[in-house]
Amino acid sequence: MPWWDSWLRDDDSMHVLTTRGGELVSLVGPLCENPTCPGCGGLAGLDSAQLVGFATVANRPDISTTELVSAAAGFVERTGWVDRDPELVAEVAFDMADETAEVAGWYPPGTRVRAAFDRDTDEWTITAG
């Protein structure tokens, strides 16, 4: 079984994080050494590249694992936060999609979540509200 199959629910749909307007959102871990960088530990819209304070868990049967990873890769390429080496872009995109799908899978659709990355512990703090 491929590792990404763990993202799928029993009905082959996937929980993802979105804005209120439906834009896909991802956890964005520290991509640089500057702790004030907006791309360093939070939620960001994958199309707009804007920071998002809260995201909503959504059940999206129209989104495949390939589309989630592709959206994350597009985000990484557009923002220029990592070297444009295709292997590095793919690695970061897979990690973003994996962490985001895992967090979204913890909660039922409609749950609002907030995320912060703690550089000292190298861990995410996820709060639902």
Instruction: State the 10-residue block means of pLDDT for the chain, 129 residues long.
Output: 44 84 89 63 89 93 89 90 84 91 93 88 88
- So what's the pLDDT on residue 5? 47
Contact indicator for 16, 60 with CB cutoff of 8 Å: yes
pTM: 0.83
Token pair in block for residue 7: 């993202």
Would the CA dihedral through 103, 31, 48, 11 be positive or negative? negative
Number of domains in the chain: 1
Contact indicator for 103, 115 with CB cutoff of 8 Å: yes
- Structural domain of 15: 3-128
Measured CA angle at 122 (ends 118, 124), to 5 deg: 55
